[in-house]
A and B are shown apart, each in its own frame.
Chain A
Amino acid sequence: MFSSVPPIYFLIVSAVIFAIGAMGVLVRRNAIVIFMCIEMMLSAVNLTLITASHYLNSLDGVLMVFFVMTVAAAEAAVGLAIFVLLFRGRRTIKVDEINLLKW
């Protein structure tokens, strides 16, 4: 039949992209790049949900992805507004120097 790739390959691709995104979050120091890595991790999780819903003949995963995308859009609006505000106040968006809430 048409769909010959087993679901495990899609899940492995998703896991690899998720791990790369998590590594970026932990290693990079630029807040905007960290934000982009978080978006990449959300997208990898979406791929897992779509894979599961496709191979289970279900549409619930598709709707779940729809809501994850809604959350990602709201997060982008608020997060980037926070970055602009931080840069206006402290002239930097490096996460090492933004430690007001750290301890």
Chain B
Amino acid sequence: MAGNVFYWIVFVGTALTAIFAAVMVITRRSPIHSAMFLILNFLCIAVLYLLLNSQFIAIVQVMIYAGAIMMLVIFVIMLLNVEEEERRRKISASPAQIIGVVLVLILFAQLIYGVGVYVLPGEWSEFTRERITQIGDIKAVAGLLFTKFLFPFEVASILLLVGIIGAVILSKKER
């Protein structure tokens, strides 16, 4: 019972913090502030992963999203130094932006409707909480990764290789 209440408190606090951070990301004028709030959002989502008993993905979320990707983004923001350009922007909403907000509100209503109306679809599998605790989360994930998902795993390696080569070719100076 005490565990239940604690679970709810952690869930509500983390969820509200994540939504607050998401709102701050799109309302801050300076890109560096947006990046900081986005890191907060990613950390909150990592805590939600822990609540869903996915320790491996929570750690990977902190390492890849909050660590690697956001480090790259902040590096590029610092490199480009576009802050003063953003600051003298007029506060005026173009018609396209207003239409965008309306479309997003419609999308949001559809998402909430879809979440609320339908029961959770999908195929039930054998990895219950006790089974995962018994064999270990990372071991279970690795077992599936190298058997059932071997082909997507190899394709992902090719994708990463293409990404590396693309980044090198794009940022190479042509003289």
Q: Are B26 and A28 in contact (CB under 8 A)?
A: yes
Q: Are A78 and B170 in contact (CB under 8 A)?
A: yes
Interface size on B, residues (CB 8 A): 82
* Binary flags per residue of B128-171, CB closer than 8 Å to A gives 1, else 0: 11001000000011001100110010001001101110110011
Inter-chain pairs besides A19-B111, A76-B69, A84-B79, 15 sampled, C-beta below 8 Å: A5-B7, A13-B15, A15-B111, A20-B22, A27-B26, A27-B101, A32-B80, A33-B26, A36-B73, A39-B38, A71-B156, A74-B159, A76-B73, A77-B163, A80-B167
A-B contact pairs, 26 of them (CB 8 A): A2-B3, A5-B11, A11-B115, A13-B48, A15-B111, A18-B111, A30-B86, A33-B31, A36-B31, A40-B22, A43-B42, A43-B45, A46-B57, A46-B61, A51-B52, A52-B120, A52-B122, A60-B125, A62-B141, A76-B73, A77-B163, A77-B164, A80-B72, A85-B170, A93-B82, A94-B85
Residues of A in contact with B (beta carbons under 8 Å apart): 2-5, 7-13, 15-24, 26-30, 32-33, 35-37, 39-40, 43-44, 46-47, 50-60, 62-63, 65-67, 69-78, 80-85, 87, 92-94
